[in-house]
Amino acid sequence: MQIMGAGKPATIYDVAARAGVSKSLVSLVLQRSPRVSQQRRDAVLKAIQELDYRPSTAAVSLAGTRSRTIGVVLDDFRNQWFVDLLTGLREALQDQGHRLVVADRFLNTGLDASPVEGFLSMRVEGIVIAGEPDTDLAIPASMPVVVAGGRAALPRADTVANDDRAGGRMAADHLLTLGHTRLGFVGARSAASDERRAGLEARVVSAPSGASVAVSVQPGEPTEEAGSRGLGQLLDEHPEVTAVFAANDVMALGALSELAARGLRVPEDVSVMGYDDTPLAATRYVGLTSIDDRSVEIGRGAGERLLARIADPALPATEVLVEPRLVARRTTAAR
């Protein structure tokens, strides 16, 4: 290996000079083009190894016809619900040689920068919106798009999401079966939160036990702080509540901290459950009862739909709902 000098990595021109070929032929080798003879291919690969050349992904994409890159826009890096979703996406896309580029849509808001602009400069082949779509993202009509985990529709975009309303019903069934009749819901202003609340309320209203639901919906994002604040307001107005269903696991953690601050025991005094079954919920320290939104399956389904849309952009938009499941742990108990 030849050291090019501190702070001066090898360039594609260095590789071309070492191999005795043109820059365009080096680009063809990087694209794995069959139009290059084996002798010249071997010379270029040898030069790449000797110079420890690291090609720019963007440069390779610009030189070829396909980038093999998929952009993923996340709601918020602080919410771990997307960890399994990315796993499912990778499983669906890796066999086709696609790589994922991930951006948080709130990360650079102070710079007036949209993650979509960055993706377009990288010539991504498709975009996955992980969470609630934002109409301000300004995605070109020709770009294949799939919404994963969110329910708000985008024109010409497929949707693969959890059946949030069914998950709300599961939460109600679990708490009612444990004997709770005074339930609370802590949520935020989002489509997913609204669906989960609707499922909970519909099941409780139809229950023969005369059960009721007290609701606290917080403005802004469904954060831990919002969960703590929401539960505090709910208990101030409805101290009779014995079980709380939070719109996601992050809000449920906030609810747990509020209960601890008030000297209330979980689950002896108040049962708590969340939604998404994130890695935080599964930790032994927390042991949070949660509704598993099956993010791996959502990610895998979103990846498959995106590949189909890339292959045929004229496909009609579809919506796929994945059935959730209850994961009972130690934060809920019989009344």
Closest CA to 127 of 163, 91, 106, 154: 154
User: How confident is the prediction along the chain (335 residues), in pLDDT tens digits per residue?
Assistant: 333 444 577 888 889 999 999 988 888 887 667 778 999 989 999 998 888 887 665 555 555 556 788 999 887 666 778 889 999 999 999 877 888 988 876 655 554 567 777 787 778 889 999 887 776 677 888 889 999 988 766 778 899 999 999 999 999 999 999 999 999 999 999 889 999 999 999 999 998 888 999 999 999 889 999 999 999 999 999 999 999 999 999 999 999 999 999 999 999 999 999 999 999 899 999 999 999 999 999 999 999 999 999 889 888 889 999 999 999 999 999 99
Strands (E), the chain: 69-74, 99-104, 126-130, 145-148, 158-162, 182-188, 212-218, 243-246, 271-275, 289-292, 319-322, 325-327
Determine the pLDDT at residue 5.
43
Determine the pLDDT at residue 65.
54
Long-range Cβ contacts of 176-179 (<8 Å, 24+ apart): 176/203, 176/204, 176/207, 176/209, 176/211, 178/243, 178/271, 178/332, 178/333, 178/334, 178/335, 179/334, 179/335
Using DSSP's 3-state secondary structure scheme, residue 320 falls into strand
Determine the pLDDT at residue 9.
79
Q: Which residues of 213-252 are buried (b: 16+ CB within 10 A; e: fewer)?
A: bbebbbeebbbbebbbbbbbebbeebeebbbbbbbbbbbb
Determine the pLDDT at residue 278.
92
Determine the pLDDT at residue 258.
98
Contact call for residues 152 and 191 (beta carbons, < 8 A): yes
**Per-position DSSP letters for 273-312, written without gaps between them:** EEES--HHHHSTTT--EEEE--HHHHHHHHHHHHHHHHH-
Closest CA to 63 of 32, 108, 84, 102: 32
**Maximum distance among all alpha carbons in the chain?**
83
Q: For the chain, give the number of residues.
A: 335
Determine the pLDDT at residue 2.
39
